[in-house]
A and B are shown apart, each in its own frame.
Chain A
Amino acid sequence: MTEAMIEIAGVSKTYDGRPIVTDFTLSVPKGALCVLLGPSGCGKSTMLRMINRLVPFDGGTIRVGGEDVLSVPPEALRRRIGYAIQSTGLFPHWRIEDNIATVPRLDGWPAGRVRDRVTELLTLLRLDPETYRGKFPHQLSGGEQQRVGVARALAANPELLLMDEPFAAVDPITRDALQSELIRIHKETGKTIVFVTHDIEEALRLATVIVIMERGRLAQIGTPLDIIENPASDFVRDFVGVQGIGLKLLSVRRVADRMRPGESAEGEAIAAEATLAEALAAMVTRRAERLPVADGNGTIGVISLADLVR
């Protein structure tokens, strides 16, 4: 059993007597990419903002890294937790470098270390450090601003990253690129990430764990595959969407799970890590019914059209 990064126990929140989050309990293991998913008004954003105490909660306990969040001053708590939001909230009068350096400077890092960290983060987010560090936010595109927002959230090397619909306001192509970046960054850094979205496709693509919320309560928790194959209630089934469920299944299953090891085929290989949807797309464009499958060490097997529907 992996250690829990966040333990939420029996947390409730009401606004003017109206329940927003009710008796919510959740444990997020270290290193997870946990997506809080649900329709608007289901309390997912409020739940996220209670973790770093931007919203006070009425009852229950929240622990981050084993420590009760109420036992530390809110500013100290927030500096240990990265936070990225949809509208980025970059400070328009500060250069990119200063925006990213916000928390390290609050923590009193020496100037040289701050500078190195900014270079490192811009590189991690695939923005050329020398081109971007001196620019102002308004000189960047929406996608670039969002990258800077993520870099800023990671700046002080927090163990936990909270993201509130960070990619909801960018165009689909940019969103796709940002999602890939986030998956890569998650793999490279091993950070625990809690990510709020109402977009089921985004959740299926990013999550290691999906938490579906319904009117302030936990409706289901599971891996993307669990959620699609075994929806716990009609609500989850409807929300995940009955139509196109076959395609969604293809987009969460991996080639590695369905391939025939040891066989071989002609043509360009597809990665074992790729989804079945990507394999299907490759078959359609190449008019091939069999594709070789490769991992980092070379060809390891074959996937055929029939394997997709097994």
Chain B
Amino acid sequence: MRAVLKTPALWVGLLFAALLVDMQALRPLFAAGFPGVKPEIFSRAGFIELFLSHLGLVAVSSAAATITGIALAIFVTRPVGRDFRTIANMLATIGQTFPPAAVLALAVPALGFGPRPMIVALFLYGLLPILENAIAGLEGLPPALREAGQGMGLSPYQLLRDVELPLAAPVILAGVRVSVTIGIGTATIGSTVGALTFGTPIFDGLAGNKLPYVLQGAVLVALFAILTDLLFALLARRLQPPG
């Protein structure tokens, strides 16, 4: 029980949940902090609605980037795919270099307004860290493991499933963690093309000169990213192989 209470993820999670449920409670704080500014609470959409939509965007794009990134990494670290390693890495680097705002601008004419262009932008942006880490994780294993595994008669698939992936998992997970955490922050710009996110109060506040809106959105997106990162840290500790 004590160990659970000491987990930062618990406290950050509680704070985050409390703000989602009842931002109104902070009205006196806004009033005291910004005298002369009307202590308005964002109300065009509920905070829980914003959260679920934001979460959905990141979840879909990150899941796609994770599956694609790991699959590509597995492919280019096999004998058949070795020749494609440079190309795969180059494509992912281009995806990362291209600013998500530019991807959004280009994707909207093709996909229309709403969450879809943002999912594409986040997917491209998040692919590189996952791909790079997955390649590093798989290539970083001592060659003796593969040699011994093959020598004992493990099939290539068994070797991948039972030895390579479990041992590379911590490095792969670190890539997913970076990608998802960055994705949570970046997803806020989706509100400029009509996706509901914690960016919505931020952009509404900037447009309407309502500072409390900006703060509400910014604090929530920050807590969301921190909480996610802490949860990944917990997961990483569980995946760490002994030794």
A residues near B149, Cβ cutoff 8 Å: 89, 91
Within 8 Å by CB of A92, from B152, B153, B154, B242, lies B242
Please report the C-alpha to C-alpha distance between residue A174 and residue B148 in the assembled complex, in whole angstroms: 22
| In the assembled complex, B46 has its CB within 8 A of some CB on chain A | no
Residue B112 CB within 8 A of the other chain: no
Q: B153 touching A136 by the CB < 8 A rule?
A: no
Given B145, B153, B166, B167, which contacts A79 in the complex, CB threshold below 8 Å? B153
Write out the residue numbers on chain B whose beta carbons fall within 8 Å of the beta carbon of A136.
242-243
Q: Does A259 make an interface contact (CB < 8 A)?
A: no
Contacts of A139 in B (CB 8 A): 243
Chain B stretch 69-122: residues in CB contact (< 8 A) with chain A: none
Instruction: Find out whether the CB atom of B152 lies under 8 angstroms from the CB atom of A91.
Output: no
- Asked if A52 meets B151 with Cβ closer than 8 Å, knowing A89-B145, A93-B166, the reply is yes
Q: A54-B150, A136-B243 are in contact. Are A75 and B144 (CB under 8 A)?
A: no
Contact of B152 among A83, A93, A138 (CB under 8 A): A83
CB distance from A134 to the nearest CB of B (A): 11
A56 to B28, CA, bound (A): 77
Q: Does B163 contact A (CB under 8 A)?
A: yes
Of A52, A83, A93, A138, the contact of B167 (CB 8 Å cutoff): A93
Per the bound structure, the CA–CA distance linking A299 and B144 in Å amounts to 49
Q: Do A93 and B144 contact each other (CB < 8 Å), given the known contacts A78-B150, A78-B152, A106-B154?
A: no
- Chain A, range 64-110, C-beta contacts under 8 Å to B: 74-79, 83, 85, 87-93, 102-103, 106
CB A158 to nearest CB in B, in angstroms, measures 10
Encode contact with A along B133-158: 1 for CB under 8 Å, 0 otherwise: 00000000010110111111111001
Please give, as numbers and ranges, the residues of chain A lying within 8 Å of B166 by CB-CB distance: 93
Per the CB 8 Å criterion, the residue count for chain B at the interface is 20
- B153 near A75 with CB under 8 A, answer yes
**Cα distance, A226 to B153, chains bound together (Å):** 37
What CA separation (Å) do A136 and B240 show in the bound complex?
13
Q: Is the CB of B151 within 8 A of A92?
A: no
For residues 28 through 60 of chain A, which have their beta carbon under 8 Å from a beta carbon of chain B? 52, 54
B241 within 8 A of A: yes
Given contacts A75-B153, A106-B154, contact A89 B243 (CB under 8 A): no
CA distance A75 to B150 in the complex (A): 8
B99 to chain A, nearest CB (A): 40
Q: Is the CB of A78 within 8 A of B153?
A: yes
| Most chain A beta-carbon contacts within 10 A, residue among B152, B166, B243 | B152
**Does A137 make an interface contact (CB < 8 A)?**
yes
Q: Which of A76, A83, A90, A138 sits near B151, CB closer than 8 Å? A: A83
* In the assembled complex, A133 has its CB within 8 A of some CB on chain B: no
B window 224-243: CB within 8 A of A: 241-243
Residue A290 lies at the interface, judged by CB distance under 8 Å to chain B = no
Q: Is the Cβ of A102 less than 8 Å from the Cβ of B167?
A: no
Given contact pairs A92-B241, A93-B241, A106 touches B148 in the complex (Cβ within 8 A) = no
**Is A152 an interface position by the 8 A CB rule?**
yes
Chain A residues in 8 Å Cβ range of B154: 75, 102, 106
Contact B148 A83 (CB under 8 A): yes
Q: Is the CB of B151 within 8 A of A85?
A: yes
Which residues of A are found within 8 Å of B167, using beta-carbon distances?
A: 91-93
Please, which residues of chain B bring their CB within 8 A of the CB of A162? Answer: 151
B159-172 vs A, CB cutoff 8 Å, 1 = contact: the mask equals 00011001100000
Listed A/B pairs (9) with beta-carbon separation below 8 Å: A75-B154, A76-B153, A78-B151, A85-B151, A88-B144, A91-B162, A102-B154, A103-B153, A137-B243
3 residue pairs, one from A and one from B, having the closest CB atoms: A89-B148, A138-B243, A83-B151
10 extra A-B contacts, CB within 8 A, seeds A91-B145, A92-B243? A75-B155, A79-B153, A85-B144, A85-B148, A87-B144, A89-B151, A92-B167, A102-B154, A106-B152, A136-B242
